[in-house]
Amino acid sequence: MKKILTLFTLAILAVSCQQAPKQATLEWEEAASLPIEISNNAIASATVDGVPYIYTFSGLEKGKTYSDVSDFAARYNANENIWEEIPGVPDKIGRLGSTAETVNGNIYIFGGYTVDEDSAEASTSEVFKYNPVANTYERVADMLLPVEDAVSLVYQDRYIYLVSGWNYTNNVSNVQVYDTETNSWEHATPYPGPPVFGHAGGIVGNTMVLSDGVQAIVDDGERLFKMSPGSIKGEIDAEDHTTINWSRIPTHPGEARYRMAAMGVSSPVEMIIFVGGTSNPYNYNGIGYNLRPANPQTEVFGYRLDTQEWVVLGAQPTPTMDHRGMGKANGEYYIIGGMTEGQSVTDKVQKFSIELSSAN
Report pLDDT digits (tens) over 144-156. 999 999 999 999 9
pLDDT tens per residue across span 27-45: 999 999 999 999 999 999 9
Would you state the torsion angle of the CA atoms of residues 338, 339, 340, 341, taken in this order, to the nearest 10 degrees?
-160
- Cα separation, 35 vs 257, in Å, equals 28
Q: Which residues pair with 205 in a beta bridge?
A: none
Q: In the prediction, which pLDDT does 13 show?
A: 44
Is position 15 within any domain?
A: no
123 falls within a domain: yes
CA torsion angle for 326, 328, 332, 335 (degrees, to 10)? -20
Contacts of 266 (CB under 8 A, 6+ apart): 204, 205
Query: Whole domain around residue 156: which residue ranges?
Result: 23-357
In a domain, 238, yes or no: yes
CA angle 303, 256, 266 (to 5 degrees): 20
| pLDDT given for residue 41 in this prediction | 98
- Asked if residue 18 belongs to a domain, the reply is no
Q: Which residues contact 141 (CB under 8 A, 6 or more apart)?
A: 127, 178, 183, 184, 185
Asked whether residue 133 is domain-assigned, the answer is: yes
**Whole-angstrom distance, CA of residue 140 vs CA of residue 149:** 20
Answer yes or no: is 263 within a domain.
yes
Q: How many domains does one find in the chain?
A: 1
pTM of the shown model = 0.93
What pLDDT is recorded for position 10? 45
What is the C-alpha separation between 103 and 57, in angstroms, rounded? 16
Tell whether 1 is covered by a domain: no
344 falls within a domain: yes
**What DSSP designation does 3 have?**
H
Q: What is the CATH number of the domain that holds 247?
A: 2.120.10.80
- Segment 220-257, tens digit of pLDDT: 778 899 999 999 999 999 999 999 999 999 999 999 99
> Cβ–Cβ contacts within 10 Å for residue 46, how many?
22
